[in-house]
Structure formats: C-alpha cells, structure tokens
C-alpha cells in the first residue's frame, strides 16, 4: 500500500463507522441479571424507549431487543417491567380508551319483575327515555306497592328517576307501613333523594300509629326539609318520651317545627330528661327562633 492512499482509506473507514446503523446497546439488558443494578437498568431501558417519537429502523431494532430480553427473563417482575416498556413502541398503535362505541347487549331473557326491573335500570343508566323502557311509570308504580320489599324498593327507586311526582306519595305511603328499622331507613334515603319541593308537598303531617322506626325516619326528613307541614300537637308528646330513636329525632327536628311562641312548652318538655336527651334538648332550644 502506498502512503498517499492511507488518508483515503482512513476517511472511508470513518464514513462507514459513522453512518452505519448501529445495533441496540446490550449493556442495560446485561445488567438486568445483576440484582444491585436491576432497577437502574430498567429505568435506563424505559428512558431510552421513551426517546423514540416515531417509528424507524433504530426503534424497530431497539424494541426487538426489548422483546428478546423479556422472553429471556425468568423473574416475573422484570418481565412485567419490560412488557410495560413495549407500550412505548411507536410502531404499535395504542388501543383507544375514550370514544368507544357502546355495545348494545341483548335484553336478558325472562319476564319476571326482577328481570324487567334490571333491564329498566340498565336502560336508565344508558340515559334512555321512558318510551324505550320495558316498564313505564304506571308499571313501576304498581310494582312499588308490591308486598316483596326488594321489588318494591327497586321499583320505587326507578320510579323516582322516571317521575319524582308519582314516586313521592308512594314512598311516604311505604314509609308509614314500614316496621323494620333497616327498611324504614332505605325508604328514608329515597325520600331524601326526591326534590325538596316534591317531598315537602306530599309529606304527611304526622305518622301517628306507625312504627317507631317509621316515625323516627319521618322526623329526620322533617329536620332537613323545612317545607314539610307538621302537626305540632303530635310531635310534643314525642319530646317527653324515653331516650330512643324517636325522641332523639324529635328533638333534632324541633327547631324546624316550633317557633319562639312554643318555647315555654318546649322548655317544659325538656325538664327531667335523661342525660342522653338533655344535650339534644339544650341544643334544640338554643336554635328555636
């Protein structure tokens, strides 16, 4: 070789080394097997994977190396980390998350009240109108008066969503008949979800003769719905009773029911109360206006 040819050969060697597409660096993959360097290697692999903004030969080679490293790994945590890194591959189109077309599932088989109620609720959740529902307002009103509490409760809830005006009197009627505390509380929750004006307009003035659980629920609604008209004479005896759910609810509702004109009667009712009720009575008397 002549000396004057040496610079030409060196230049050709530099060009080939400088412009040839390099393969992916295997260094971070080799450190995955070293416990002390595993986390740093995983982070380096993730950082390099994020650097590819578009698909190219380099990104193709890099993510092929990531897949190969994933397949070689026996540690499930490392495999999971490399699997997550593959989501950065610009050549893979991400699955859509938003804007999916809702699927229309077939209606469930059967014609029992439970099945029809379930289908009605599903359609209401899908914001369908009443004309699309298998159970109309009149059907729901009939089921809301069912002797089966579960059916009646679900029908009442759906009727409230379809027509609160039709649901309100039925809910108050069911509350008056409730005997168990758990059932009375469930009905009370539905009444409190009614519009305030609708609940107040259809509320009974008293629940005399109903179970203690029903009366307590009625008083709790009165305490937070100021528009409810109440028979004050029916509430006064409840304030003097023994400490229980009803008397506690009565004192909590007293500031909503009574005015300063009835304050002497309230003060008289507060005499001789148990410690459990005394604090409630004191707080109620201070709020009466």
Within a domain: 238: yes
| Tokens 């159970």 -> residue | 135
pLDDT at 205: 92
State yes or no: pLDDT of 258 exceeds 50: yes
Distance CA 250, CA 70 (A): 68
Residue 269 confidence (pLDDT) above 60: yes
Q: Is residue 136 part of a domain?
A: no
CA–CA separation, 6 vs 14, rounded Å?
A: 12
Contact between 187 and 156 (Cβ < 8 Å): yes
In a domain, 243, yes or no: yes
pLDDT at 14: 44
Q: Is the pTM of this model over 0.75?
A: no
Q: Is 245 helix (H, G, I), strand (E, B) or coil?
A: helix
| Token pair listed for 141 | 């009103």
Report yes or no on 179 lying in a domain: yes
- Report whether 273 contacts 244 (CB < 8 A): no
Region 260-278: mean pLDDT is 92
pLDDT of residue 194: 95
User: Is residue 109 a part of any domain in this protein?
Assistant: no
Counting the structural domains of the chain, the total is 2
Top-confidence range, 13-17, 35-39, 86-90, 214-218: 214-218
Is residue 73 domain-resident?
yes
Determine the average pLDDT of the residues in 200-215. 91
Does residue 101 have a pLDDT over 70? no
Report whether pLDDT(19) > 50. no
Structure tokens at 225: 């719905």
Residue 214 lies in a domain: yes
Using the 8-state DSSP alphabet, how is residue 127 labeled? T
Question: 203 is in which domain, residue-wise?
Answer: 163-287
pLDDT of residue 98: 61
In a domain? residue 128: no
Whether 202 and 190 have beta carbons less than 8 Å apart is answered as: no
Q: How confident is the model at residue 220 (pLDDT cuts 50, 70, 90)?
A: very high
Claim to verify: residue 81 and residue 167 sit in the same structural domain? no
Question: pLDDT confidence of 138, banded at 50, 70, 90?
Answer: very high
Chosen domain end from 64, 88, 112: 88
Q: Which of 88, 113, 147 is the last residue of a domain?
A: 88
Q: Which of 61, 88, 115 is the last residue of a domain?
A: 88
pLDDT tens digits along 69-83: 899 888 888 888 898
């Amino acid at each position: 070789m002549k000396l004057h040819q040496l610079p030409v050969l060196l230049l050709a060697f530099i060009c080939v080394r400088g412009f040839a597409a390099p393969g992916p660096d295997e260094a971070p993959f080799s450190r995955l097997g070293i416990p002390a360097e595993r986390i740093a290697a995983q982070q380096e692999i993730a950082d390099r994977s994020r650097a590819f903004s578009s698909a190219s030969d380099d990104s193709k080679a890099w993510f092929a190396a990531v897949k190969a490293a994933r397949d070689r790994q026996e540690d499930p945590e490392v495999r999971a980390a490399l699997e997550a890194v593959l989501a950065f591959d610009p050549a893979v189109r991400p699955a859509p998350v938003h804007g999916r077309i809702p699927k229309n599932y077939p209606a469930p088989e059967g014609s029992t009240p439970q099945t029809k109620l379930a289908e009605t609720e599903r359609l209401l959740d899908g914001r369908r109108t009443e004309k699309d529902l298998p159970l109309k307002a009149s059907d729901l009103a009939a089921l809301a008066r069912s002797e089966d509490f579960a059916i009646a409760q679900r029908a009442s809830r759906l009727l409230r969503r379809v027509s609160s005006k039709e649901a309100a009197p039925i809910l108050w009627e069911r509350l008056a008949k409730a005997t168990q505390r758990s059932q009375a509380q469930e009905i009370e929750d539905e009444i409190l979800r009614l519009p305030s004006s609708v609940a107040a307009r259809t509320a009974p003035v008293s629940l005399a003769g109903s179970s203690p659980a029903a009366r307590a629920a009625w008083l709790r609604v009165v305490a937070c719905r100021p528009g409810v008209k109440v028979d004050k004479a029916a509430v006064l005896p409840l304030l003097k009773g023994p400490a229980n759910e009803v008397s506690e609810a009565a004192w909590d509702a007293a500031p909503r029911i009574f005015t300063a004109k009835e304050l002497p009667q309230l003060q008289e009712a507060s005499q001789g109360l148990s410690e459990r009720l005394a604090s409630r009575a004191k707080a109620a008397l201070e709020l009466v206006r």
